[in-house]
Amino acid sequence: MYFRNGVLRFKTQASFSWEVITAVVLTALCIYILKQSPGFGGTSVFSRHDPGVTHVLVTGGAGYIGSHAALRLLKDSYRVTIVDNLSRGNMGAVKVLQELFPEPGRLQFIYADLGDAKAVNKIFAENAFDAVMHFAAVAYVGESTMEPLRYYHNITANTLTVLEAMAAHEDADYGSYSSVSYQPVWESQENGGGHYIRFLKEIDMAVMILRYFNVIGSDPEGRLGEAPRPELREHGRISGACFDAALGVIPGLKVKGTDYPTADGTCIRDYIDVTDLVDAHVKALDKAEPKKVGIYNVGTGKVFLYEFVEACKQATGAKIKVEYLSRRPGDYAEVFSNPRRSTTSSTGRPTTPTCRRASRSRGDGRDRIPTATGDPKNT
């Protein structure tokens, strides 16, 4: 019985029966589709260890280096979970990866802050990780001098939160970040990370620590690159500023510091292409041994800042206006490493001159990435 156009009408028995049958069929179809999904019944493929599949947690995987690492791992048939709070990461990079690898069980993104111990432990409890690549950090020199406590907390406390969760869930660690006091930095030195190294030596993990300095370049196919938000570009890398200037995004390049005690007055840095760096990470992951801590410097040697700027000009063919300014607080005259151990091990060393190769990307890939940022629920 129902109303239509103000008139009381009655359904026939046959009409009612067909509606019931249709509802039953649709319900059965929905149940069937749900059963085919990886997460049906509360069990996700990411929560189990599958033979022949290595599941890697990539913290900071929405960032510049982390997204390139995730891309390489996915290309090599790893299962990848990205955890990022998007304070510096780019949701656009995650979307690029999701489009490239849409198959179920390949890639998942979790929006979380590593400073939240409860959230971190929940992630480890609900996922079966075989390894962790830890890239989550803040890394702008100028900003670090203005907010030193924030930087210290992010790099130390948050890293310890991850390590504690890994120890509690008996997962392997694989991390990389660097801090230097002496030049060059040798692999035997524990500058800035000695307390972590001593902690890691006491627990049952396979640990590889890669230390590096100025990362440049982008995915050779232009799918990813360095794409900081506009408000962060002032604190960004000189490589990004060079490409922005070459593309006309900014009117020119600002070189800060020409009175350093070096041959040409500009600072000396150790540059490495991001694809070479990611390659070293993957090789180090394969080389990791239980209950051992390996420390490797991944670098290419000394490069004067002036040399890098000239390489960018030559590779892009652009006329870049350069403005020379006073030093930036927090910058050292020389920051480079001695990569002897990595060059004689299976972690390898780049074979192509880094500045020239990175500069050939003409824009560092940033013009090809959607600049989606913030909470993924709103993107």
At residue 234, the 3 state secondary structure works out as: helix
**Which candidate in 196, 271, 296, 306 is catalytic?**
196
Among residues 131, 121, 159, 128, the alpha carbon closest in space to that of 70 is found at 131
Q: Are 274 and 300 in contact (CB under 8 A)?
A: no
Which residues are bridge partners to 80 per DSSP? 56, 107
Q: How, if at all, do strands 303-304 and 268-269 pair?
A: antiparallel
Among residues 165, 73, 149, the alpha carbon closest in space to that of 116 is found at 165
Beta strands in 223-306 (DSSP E): 253-256, 268-269, 271-273, 292-297, 303-304
C-alpha to C-alpha distances, 158 to 108, 117, 286, 306, 353, nearest whole angstrom: 21, 8, 25, 36, 35
d(CA 266, CA 304): 6
d(CA 58, CA 131): 9
Q: Which two tokens stand for residue 259?
A: 């009175």
d(CA 212, CA 203): 25
Over the range 171-183, which residues count as b (16 or more CB within 10 Å of their CB) and which as e? bbbbbbbbebeee
> 38: which residues sit within 8 A by CB, 6+ positions away?
44, 45, 104, 105
Q: Quick one: which H or E segment has residue 192?
A: none
| Annotated catalytic residue 332 | no
Q: At what angle do helices 194-201 and 158-168 cross, to 10 degrees?
A: 0
> 262: which residues sit within 8 A by CB, 6+ positions away?
268, 304, 333, 334
The counts of H helices and E strands in the chain are 13, 16
Q: Which two tokens stand for residue 7?
A: 């008139």
Catalytic residues: 196
